[in-house]
Structure 1
């Protein structure tokens, strides 16, 4: 999901602010969204708890890909290569007729740079255009994110991302910023941290993968506060719902109150991918395969 970090603590048992999701008040997700099949994807972090690690993880990872393909998905968004090389992972995707629509991977910061050339080469092999950091990029990003304390820190981070984005652009790829709530709740004067990231990166170098749950969780209106402001710089959505009746927790797409059809309509034709996601909820009540199936049905309007 770019910018992994502080909100990783919120993955389980979320309790949201009283003003969460103002733009969705009075709406339900009862109506389907109807978006093109080739633009539907799913963030594989949804299955991270199921896949796990150690013995059997690769088998479970492959099972996830197989079952997603059987559901009708054509695209997936990896958060890890699962111990495979880029060549091996590409072969695995090809086996199940899947494409990697984007990728979450640690792209570093001004505090700790990473090997961007290696990432770009892996992306080339995988056939990936969009990439950026997200919560799924892993725990090492958390202390780095916590070091962004001041407005100057955020500006320097944006400038770092712009340089990475320029490098990516020259390789035919696109760096994306994935948000959580804190980019919108961290405010300097009249600017949020998200504003700083957008204003100190060039549109040709950096785009937004807007996580609609986290925008709503932060108490903002996704349309008025973000889409109307940044327009076609928002090129991907993380589509996950919000349940106000259960402490504003992440909900299966279509079961919460986010008005996805209105948001998608406001975004117009700039959206390249609509990515279903649900952060793991390790309380015995969450089945990632159900979340994937219902999310797919909601976006394709095949839910009856």
Structure 2
């Protein structure tokens, strides 16, 4: 990590993760048939509380689409109905698909779902967002946590430490305004925040150091944290920053050369039990996510969501 380097022995973590995955999901050589009969009494309802499990709807981005027409809304309803049947009670939207906040809230209510958090563009110092409108929408939607789906890295916008500090200070101001409305601004990472270093501090460190804990919290994307800083990086970050990390994006990494591609939760190599254990009781939501594989017909977002829910419902830590 940026300000400190800590060495620790975690050789058994991968073994523990693989064992848990095998027991709960039938991977690692355990047959599907044996798991089907053995898993329910051993695992069901004993993992993460259902009230804390959510799913980032970006998983369904290709399926739902980016339109605002009736067909887009119908696909959104289909996704909501399926998620409810899988066991989800929370979702994390990234778009309202052309609906007003009132209409989107009504759709959530119809399917017994809650918006646990929201990804929405909160702007930059050069292009500030209409924060008052966002806060008003959030109030209708019932959302507490919100923030952009990424820092300005698509494409990379900032190349100096001063620019990142200015961006963090902008977020801190937005967070202070949100706090006065009973809402909380969150920052979501990718790999770049851990790979970009200025004077021994990563961009992630800068975002932490230049914001106040009362104004800004963090949603740690576990795949991107591991991708950008190594397999143990999520735990290093948690050990350093503690309960400033309030939400996880639970996203897995495929086996093989590291960093590997995104994998369905529980079928990869990220040691979720150790990560969850390190976080203690500070995690508000565990958000299943699998980035869409645009143009790949073999990817099924419904499978990714269902397997992810079942894993979290089962995992012990």
Check the 8 A contact 1:223/1:266 in 2, yes or no. no
Do structure 1's residue 87 and structure 2's residue 97 form an aligned pair? Answer: no
How big is each residue's C-alpha offset from its partner over 1:215-266, in whole Å with a ceiling of 9 and x where there is no partner?
1111332344200000000000000100132760000000001111110010
> What pairs with 1:6-85 in structure 2 (closer than 5 Å)?
25-26=14-15, 27-28=17-18, 29-32=21-24, 34-54=47-67, 55=69, 56-85=71-100
> How high is the TM-score relative to the length of structure 1?
0.86
1:198 alignment partner in structure 2: 208
- Residues 1:269 and 2:281 aligned together: yes
**What's 2:33 paired with?**
none
Alignment partners' CA distance in 2, 1:253 and 1:31: 14
SS at match of 1:198: helix
Q: Deviations over 1:256-294 (max 9, x none)?
A: 011111100100010000000000013222100000000
Distance 1:142 1:219 in 2: 17
Aligned with 2:287: secondary structure?
A: strand
Query: Structure 2: where are the runs of 5+ without partners?
Result: 1-10, 25-45
In the alignment, what sits opposite 1:180?
190
**Once the two structures are superposed, what CA deviation does each residue of 1:4-45 show, in whole Å capped at 9, x if it has no partner?**
xxxxxxxxxxxxxxxxxx996554243558111100000000
2:290 to 262, 268, 278: 278
Cα shift at 1:53 = 3.3
Alpha carbons 1:240, 1:251 under 8 Å: kept = yes
Structure 2 equivalent of residue 301 of structure 1: 314
Give unpaired runs (5+ residues) of structure 1: 1-21
Question: Could you tell me how far 1:57 is from its partner in structure 2?
Answer: 1.1
Q: Is the 8 A contact 1:23 1:216 kept in 2?
A: no
Q: Does 1:257 align with 2:241?
A: no
Which moves more between the two structures, 209-218 or 27-36? 27-36
Aligned to 1:241: 252
Residue matched to 1:189: 199
SS of 1:70's equivalent in the other structure is: helix
Aligned counterpart, 2:3: none
Where 1:34 maps in the other structure, the secondary structure is coil
- Contact 2:96/2:104 (<8 A) preserved: yes
Count of aligned pairs between the two proteins: 277
Query: What is the rounded CA distance, in whole Å, between the counterparts of 1:75 and 1:101 in structure 2?
Result: 6
The alignment's TM-score, normalised by the length of structure 2, stands at 0.83
Distance in 2 between residues matched to 1:154 and 1:24, nearest whole Å: 34
CA contact (8 A) 2:147 2:186 kept: yes
Task: Name 2:8's counterpart in structure 1.
Answer: none
Structure number with greater Rg is: 2
